[in-house]
Structure 1
Amino acid sequence: MRPFYIILIFLFCTANAQKSLPLDTLKLKEAKDMLADDYGNLYIYKNKDFSFTKYDSLGKQLGKMMLTVPYKVQSVQNPLSLALFSENAQEMKFVDQNMNEIQKIDFRQKFGFIKMAYAEDLQQLWLLDDSTKRLIQYNFRNDTTINSYPFDISFDDLMDMLVFENKVYILTRKHIRIYSLKFEKLFEVPLENGKRFRRENDVILVVSDNSILKYDPEKGMIKIFEDKDAQIVDKNILSYFEIKANKLYLYNLEKIKETKLQTEPETAPPATEPPSEQTVGEEVKKADGDKKESDEKAPDTTLQKLIEDTSEVQAAGV
């Protein structure tokens, strides 16, 4: 009977962790990508009409851009200055919190063919120039090239790039690779359906179609969120977001952690085929890292007491 009660408790807690957000399904139906800023605002990009729209958490539209060519949205973590790169137009745009363009940088006047651009901050860009096979550090405020590094890699299936602490993170359709600025390969692992990087302080995340992974220098890529039925996933500092069956769902990180602590004894093995909500709790547990061996063997006394009390009530015939 114990597994039955554990599952019931887990499902109850996970249901509390999940919340459906009131965004019209028509707004989500043709979404190509979704991003969430740390204030809970949502950004929907549609490839059909190249529109980029901002909504608050209640579904109210806060701003909209109609683009003429495809753009890749780098990040919305700083909603006051969003960076969008277009390989087709060979330019990068910066837009404000109202989705108004505040600056445009044209790469055709100064460089060859830029395959990917990463805005490190409000002054510097990192550019992958396919024509010269170089990685360029460029200060767009004063229009100067700071550094240029040989970077002879294939750019054919490139999805995203990030530069942090003298390491270059490259995401392709099939792999994630990490290089030094001297073009030394430091890490490589297969990764399917990767879409973009997200950096939270010194933590590097990869957002794919239906999962989010964290890079650990010792363990490699650790899956911290997954729902195989999701169309699009993303996260901010407080929650995971997903679009599933044209509906938008939010998973609160704190409640997921509470669920994990309340429902999973330290010695419990992971289920072979967990449902999507259960997967969320298990993957967040994995992302927290392995605890010491002594901690792993320690029983969950609160859960054990609850099960024992339930058994006593059943024995008494109540």
Structure 2
Amino acid sequence: MRLLYIIFIFLFCTVNAQKALPLDTLKLKEAKDMLADDYGNLYIYKNKDFSFTKYDSLGKQLGKMMLTVPYKVQSVQNPLSLALFSENAQEMKFVDQNMNEIQKVDFKQKFGFIKMAYAEDLQQLWLLDDSTKRLIQYNFRNDTTINSYPFDVSFDDMMDLLVFETKVYILTRKHIRVFSLKFEKLFEAPLENGKRFRRENDVVLVVADNSILKYDPEKGMVKIFEDKDAQIVDKNILSYFEIKANKLYLYNLEKIKETKLQTEPDTKPTTAPVTESSSEKPAGEEGNKAHDEKKESEEKATDNTLQKLIEDSSEVQAVGV
């Protein structure tokens, strides 16, 4: 009975929150990465031909870049200026909403070997220089180095970099680490298959292969979305996105919240556990009768809750997402 109850809750949440988006499976088949901006546009990066393509939510292509070497897309939260870094080319590109290059910053002439770059805004970059083991704050608009900090960390398996409020977030293949600008380690936790950071106001998120986690200074890394069958996941301010079996799915954040509010009261025990003293326990025939009545009442309450959940689930399936 309890197993059926859990299954129906899962079905109800899935039906209510999930929606398939009409993007051609051929466009998703060879995707190495997917990002979603806050307007619902999708960006597909393919390693096979180093292409970076922008689509709207209906699958219409809005722009495309053909790159000559691999680039790492930092973020698409501001679709008017997307930052792409290439370790191979030792440069960072900025592209506009039509996927046209609007600026390029070349690191070869001024620095040693830049392992990772983070664009804080439209003026400043944070650079990890592997040759000098330093973290550099660089204003690329006027070509000046603002600050330089000793940062003697391993650069070998680094995946991403983020600097926010005097904290440096380092993502490797198997860990997340947080440092102060004085190179003091503030936090470290194991994290498998992390790909990049995403910052939403003062919240720092990590996007992994099939999950999204939130950094909490008190609780550590908190998983907020996961689908073990997904190939790629991402989110914007309104939804989670995933590619699964070469199909694109969207999970609306508001609907997920509403579903949790609807199902939460039903998931609580129908009767609170009671601890009885020996003097209060029923004895003999009267005690057995009271026990049987209590058991029957609990079963009825559970059946009524399950019936309500089945009816709610049927209504949602009839209406659709």
Q: Using a 3 Å threshold, how does the CA distance of structure 1 residues 306 and 60 change in structure 2: closer, same or farther? A: farther
SS in 2 for 1:230: coil
SS in 2 for 1:213: strand
How far off its partner does 1:4 sit?
3.0
1:152 aligns with 2:149: no
1:307 aligns with 2:313: no
Q: Using a 3 Å threshold, how does the CA distance of structure 1 residues 124 and 305 change in structure 2: closer, same or farther? A: same
CA contact (8 A) 2:5 2:306 kept: no
Q: Using a 3 Å threshold, how does the CA distance of structure 1 residues 133 and 25 change in structure 2: closer, same or farther? A: same
Equivalent position of 1:249 in the other structure = 249
Equivalent position of 1:281 in the other structure = none
Q: Which amino acid aligns with 2:53?
A: T
CA contact (8 A) 1:10 1:263 kept: no
CA contact (8 A) 1:203 1:214 kept: yes
Counterpart CA distance in 2 for 1:250 and 1:308 is: 29
Counterpart CA distance in 2 for 1:229 and 1:63 is: 29
Equivalent position of 1:87 in the other structure = 87
Counterpart CA distance in 1 for 2:51 and 2:189 is: 33
Counterpart CA distance in 2 for 1:81 and 1:131 is: 29
1:212 aligns with 2:212: yes
How far off its partner does 1:60 sit?
0.2
Q: Which amino acid aligns with 2:238?
A: L
Counterpart CA distance in 2 for 1:182 and 1:189 is: 20
SS in 2 for 1:264: helix
- Give the count of matched residue pairs: 277
Equivalent position of 1:104 in the other structure = 104
How far off its partner does 1:263 sit?
1.7
Counterpart CA distance in 1 for 2:305 and 2:253 is: 29
CA contact (8 A) 1:14 1:259 kept: no
Counterpart CA distance in 2 for 1:45 and 1:28 is: 10
CA contact (8 A) 2:266 2:305 kept: no
Counterpart CA distance in 1 for 2:4 and 2:46 is: 43
SS in 2 for 1:11: helix
CA contact (8 A) 1:136 1:149 kept: yes
> Larger deviation: 253-262 or 149-158?
253-262
| CA RMSD, Structure 1 to Structure 2 (Å) | 1.8
How far off its partner does 1:11 sit?
1.3
Counterpart CA distance in 2 for 1:176 and 1:268 is: 35
1:225 aligns with 2:225: yes
Give % identity: 90
Equivalent position of 1:293 in the other structure = none
Q: Which amino acid aligns with 1:8?
A: F
How far off its partner does 1:255 sit?
0.6
The gaps in structure 2 that reach 5 residues or longer are: 270-300, 309-321
1:6-17 map, 5 Å: 7-17=7-17
Q: Which amino acid aligns with 2:126?
A: W
Equivalent position of 2:191 in the other structure = 191
Equivalent position of 1:49 in the other structure = 49
Q: Using a 3 Å threshold, how does the CA distance of structure 1 residues 69 and 309 change in structure 2: closer, same or farther? A: closer
How far off its partner does 1:14 sit?
2.3
Q: Which amino acid aligns with 1:119?
A: A
> Larger deviation: 7-16 or 178-187?
7-16
Q: Using a 3 Å threshold, how does the CA distance of structure 1 residues 83 and 267 change in structure 2: closer, same or farther? A: same
Counterpart CA distance in 1 for 2:124 and 2:214 is: 25
The gaps in structure 1 that reach 5 residues or longer are: 270-303, 312-318
Equivalent position of 2:126 in the other structure = 126
SS in 2 for 1:149: strand
TM-score scaled by length of structure 1: 0.84
Once the two structures are superposed, residues 189-210 of structure 1 have per-residue CA deviations (whole angstroms, 9 ceiling, x without a partner) of 1100000000000000000000
CA contact (8 A) 1:47 1:70 kept: yes
SS in 2 for 1:136: strand
Counterpart CA distance in 2 for 1:214 and 1:266 is: 27
Q: Using a 3 Å threshold, how does the CA distance of structure 1 residues 122 and 6 change in structure 2: closer, same or farther? A: same
How far off its partner does 1:260 sit?
1.2
SS in 1 for 2:168: strand
Equivalent position of 2:264 in the other structure = 264
CA contact (8 A) 2:127 2:137 kept: yes
Q: Which amino acid aligns with 1:167?
A: K
SS in 2 for 1:237: coil
Q: Which amino acid aligns with 2:55?
A: Y
How far off its partner does 1:256 sit?
0.7
1:140 aligns with 2:140: yes
SS in 2 for 1:78: coil
CA contact (8 A) 1:2 1:307 kept: no
Q: Which has the larger radius of gyration?
A: 2
CA contact (8 A) 2:83 2:92 kept: yes
Once the two structures are superposed, residues 172-230 of structure 1 have per-residue CA deviations (whole angstroms, 9 ceiling, x without a partner) of 00100000000000000110000000000000000000000000000000000000000
TM-score scaled by length of structure 2: 0.83
CA contact (8 A) 2:210 2:231 kept: yes
